[in-house]
Each structure stands twice: as structure tokens, then as C-alpha cells.
Chain A
Amino acid sequence: MLEMENCSALFLETAVIRTINRIKGVTRVQDSQGRADWNVSDKEAFFAMPNEKILEKGLKLLEELAENAEGMTVVELADRIGVHKTSVYRYINSLLHMGYIQSDGDGCYHLGNKILELGSQKLRRMPLRETAHPFLVKLSADTQKTVHLCVLDGHDVVYIDKVESQKSLPILSRIGSRAPAYCTGVGKALLSGLSTDRVVSLLREVTLEKRAPNTITDPIHLFEEIKEVTERDYAIDNGEHEEGIKCFAAPIREYGGDV
């Protein structure tokens, strides 16, 4: 059914094509305003892509836009997600129509408000965040420091809440952003709640890049550090993620003691 729709779309689009030139055996086409310039084999490649791959590339496009607050052009997006710009135009049209992205009118695209809606709904449905928030506000006011709440997602921590005091200096973290678990206080606190096998497995999967002067890049050293965190029930990030920044973290345990 989808293939039939794709074929219909192809026919409709072909109807507005003004010029078709044969160059080296590949059909190159332009739209009625002379903007697009692609070859038919690109289009065929797009339609031949399995549906799950199309979805994957579309979501990757959103992730790239999320990482680039200043916006991205079609050419930049094509380069980053590894598809022809013709395909990027197709993703953009659908995402613009649905409100997931928006255009600044100068050829740059940004995330749309629909993303904000989805993110807000997700946050509102997190009882951990809702319960913890008043505690974060109080501790930030008492200490005049920045307080974070995070969860583990794969090898990363995701910041699901952040409260800054008026006196604290701005910290790079943002609600919804990620950081590597291995070099953050919250990450080490979260890793301390995993089984030894899981920690070993995670440490094998991830490259311990030196993010700051004190980042632990030796897996054995890091494993020992996480064992210590498990025993004492708190973690310290001593300038391991950001130079000059120190952080004290503690795991939030469930009723049975799991983190």
C-alpha cells in the first residue's frame, strides 16, 4: 500500500517537473522553479529504503537539530544523517507539516514546538521528577548551588530536572540533555546500583574519553571507583566532566534498595 502511495507521489511530482536531461545515463530533474536538482536513482534509493530505515533517518534528523541550536541547512542535514538532500527535503516537508520542525525563512531549520509538547508530556508523567522537584528547590536555596536530578539511559545520564540558585554560576547542563555516565557524579551514583556484570559490560562498550583534566580513562580504575561509590553510597565528580566543576551525587533507592 505504501509503495503504491509512493508511486503515486512520484507521478504527481513528475507532473510538475519542467526539464529532464540525460547526463551520463542518469536522469537529472529540476522542479518548476528550478530549485531541486537530483537524479532519479536517488529517488529510487529513497523509495527502496525499508520503512524502519526511513523512520530512523527522520528521527536522526530531529536529533541533529536538537544538538544544533543555531539551526541547520538541508545540505548540513544531508551530510550529518548520510542521505541525499532530496531525501532531506522529503523528511523536512513531513516534519514541517506536523510541527516537529520549523524554518527561519533563511534556509535554516530548527526543532518545532511540537517537540516541546511531547517533551513536556513525558516530564509531567515522571513521578520521580514531580516528587523530587520540591526537594531540589529547597536544597538549592539552602546551599546556593545547582541541584540536578538524573536517570540512566544506556551509557548516558539524562538530566530530567535542574534547579539553579541565584548565586550559582551557570553550568552547561540542560533539562533533557545527556552526559556520559562514566565521568559524572550522578552517572557514577547510578552505575553503583547496577550489578557487577552490567557495570563491566557497560565499561567494555564505552570509550572512556578524556573530557576534562581529571576524567578517569582507565576502566580498572573506574571500576574500582564505582565499587567504592557502592560502599559509601555517594559519588564525587572532581572536575572529571567539566574543568573546575565539582559535584557530589547520591543514588535514589527504591523500596527494595535498587537504584
Chain B
Amino acid sequence: MGAVSLTGLKRDFDGSEEIEKMIAAIAKMATEISQTLGNTN
């Protein structure tokens, strides 16, 4: 169907905590979009 991404400079994603936060945020958004589409259709 599709995919979403969060993009920035490599130096902006310093540290594993920041990276985990970004991964969690993008995964959450993909799930929310999927659920919204499921509810709509």
C-alpha cells in the first residue's frame, strides 16, 4: 500500500535513545494511518 519515513541529518539522530524514539514514532504513525484507512474503507 505505502510506507512512511522520518528523515534528517545523520548527526541529528545521535544516541540509541533518540533512534529508538524515532523508530517508535514512525511505526506508531504507520499503524495509525493503517487503522484509519481500515476504519474508512
Contact = CB atoms under 8 A, between A and B. Distances in A.
Interface string A102-145: 00000000000000000000000001100110011001001101
Interface of A: 127-128, 131-132, 135-136, 139, 142-143, 145-152, 157, 160, 168-169, 171, 173, 184-187, 189-190, 233-235, 237-239, 244-255, 258-259
A117 B25 CA distance: 34
Given A149-B3, A152-B3, A251-B3, 11 more contacts: A127-B37, A128-B2, A147-B4, A147-B7, A186-B4, A190-B2, A233-B27, A245-B7, A246-B9, A250-B3, A252-B1
Given A244-B10, A245-B10, A186 B33 contact: no
Interface string B22-33: 110111011111
B16 to A, nearest CB: 12
Contact of B37 (A131, A184, A186, A248): A131
A187 B6 CA distance: 13
Contacts, number: 144
A253 B5 contact: no
Interface of B: 1-13, 19, 22-23, 25-27, 29-34, 36-38, 40-41
Contact of A151 (B2, B27, B29): B2
B8 A246 contact: yes
Given A250-B29, A254-B34, A128 B7 contact: no
The 8 closest A-B pairs by CB, nearest first: A250-B30, A249-B5, A189-B3, A186-B3, A247-B7, A246-B10, A145-B8, A146-B7
A252 B3 contact: yes
Nearest to B36: A131
Main secondary structure on chain A at its contact with chain B? mixed
Given A135-B32, A145-B7, A258-B1, A248 B22 contact: yes
Contacts of B22: 143, 145, 248
A132 B10 contact: no
Contacts of B38: 254-255
